[in-house]
Amino acid sequence: MENQDAQLFESLGLQRSSAPTASGSHVNFYHRLPKTLDLSYPILVLIHGYPQSSYMWRYVVRSLPADIPLFVPDIPGYGLSTPSTTGHDKRTTGHAILSALSTHLQLSNPLSAPIPIILGGHDRGARICQRLATDLSIPGPPSAALAAWDVVGTVILDIMPVTTQWSSLANPIFARSTFHWPFLANAALATPMIVAYGGGKWCQDIILRWASKGAGLESLRADDALAVYAGYFAKESVVRASCDDYEAGSNEDAVMETEDQEAGRGIGTDTLLMFSKDYLGSRYDVPTGWKSFVMETADLKIGGVAGVGHFLPEEAPEEVSEQVALFYQEVVQKIKARG
């Protein structure tokens, strides 16, 4: 699976590398970064979701304009990234990802100017993006992990805020369809149960549960994707780290989001939010549900995609790539306008 990942991304003009981070994780990533950065063109960071790896972005990478700088990591503990030793909450994993990018670029402090980036994510990756973008609205200087970056945009694919997800479990139908949230959040119990069931089988079964049954599923299956993801989930360390991820979602992530809401904080950057009308949109009023989680000063674009399941970057790659490219160009125009 490792060679297949690398070969595919290399065929698309990306290189593979890894970097140690303060969280204890060695973050694996694929990148298309020029030797000299043009600060008018932000780095697009694409972070995958559960139960996948950076491989899920293959269609989007293939379709985006070749001059967009890209950084495509495996979340700590997923894919080829080793688990964090300090926690799997979205702030910690987000800082680890940005630390890997900083190390790769050999950034030194102090910087002459923060480097512009757009944070983009699907599922768990989208939660990391939400956390980092929201942290920028906390009064005072940004954390050391964020200080090097000028976050100029956020792309969120097919999630509702974590507190909304937990609250929806009061609905029996919702609880049945999202049973994995409380199950995986009991990491010490869920890990051996999934390993006994077969991590690879669990991974494939859960993907097929959430995907559409038509052309979107065939698109998702291409390039041996299910085998790639199952290969990673055959490792107990990946199963455990992914459960730790969900456990943090029931604890630190939910606490931080509640504190944000009480303090009136939210995503303050221009934001593109895309969701599956027949999956997420069938259970939530997505635009209304996000209203208090994005600052009124932010330019928010929301679009639903019909006829597909949860895995938008693989089931609806043309729509996602087109909207992300348009969003990127709009952000670039704003950067150039501000001088």
Considering only CA atoms, give the Rg of the chain.
18
* pLDDT for 35: 82
**For residue 112, is pLDDT > 80?**
no
Token digits of residue 22: 């303060």
**For residue 111, is pLDDT > 80?**
no
Q: Which phi and psi (to 5°) does residue 213 adopt? A: -105, 5
Q: What whole-number distance in Å separates Cα of residue 339 and Cα of residue 24?
A: 38
**For residue 13, is pLDDT > 90?**
yes
**For residue 109, is pLDDT > 60?**
no
Hey, which residues does 17 pair with through a beta bridge? Answer: 29
Nearest partner of 303 among 197, 316, 84, 104, judged by Cα: 316
Domains and CATH numbers, the chain: 3-165+247-338 (3.40.50.1820)
Give the pLDDT mean for 78-100: 97
* pLDDT for 268: 95
Q: What whole-number distance in Å separates Cα of residue 293 and Cα of residue 154?
A: 13
pLDDT tens digits for range 133-191: 999 999 999 888 899 999 999 999 999 999 999 999 999 989 998 999 999 999 999 99
Q: What whole-number distance in Å separates Cα of residue 202 and Cα of residue 233?
A: 8
What share of the chain in percent tops pLDDT 90? Answer: 90
* pLDDT for 1: 58
DSSP code, position 53: -
Indicate the average pLDDT of the chain: 95
For residue 20, with 0-12 CB atoms within 10 Å meaning exposed, 13-18 middle and 19 or more buried, which class applies?
Answer: middle
pLDDT tens digits for range 16-67: 999 999 999 999 999 999 888 888 999 999 999 999 999 999 999 999 999 9
Query: Does residue 1 or residue 252 have the better pLDDT?
Result: 252
Give the pLDDT mean for 214-239: 97
Q: What whole-number distance in Å separates Cα of residue 325 and Cα of residue 38?
A: 18
* pLDDT for 144: 86
Nearest partner of 229 among 53, 18, 70, 28, judged by Cα: 53
Give the pLDDT mean for 235-248: 98
pTM confidence score? 0.97
Residue 325 and residue 222 in contact, taking contact as beta carbons nearer than 8 Å: no
DSSP output for 196-223 = HH-HHHHHHHHHHHHS-SSHHHHHHHGG
Within 10 Å of residue 310's Cβ, how many Cβ atoms? 25
Hey, which residues does 16 pair with through a beta bridge? Answer: 30
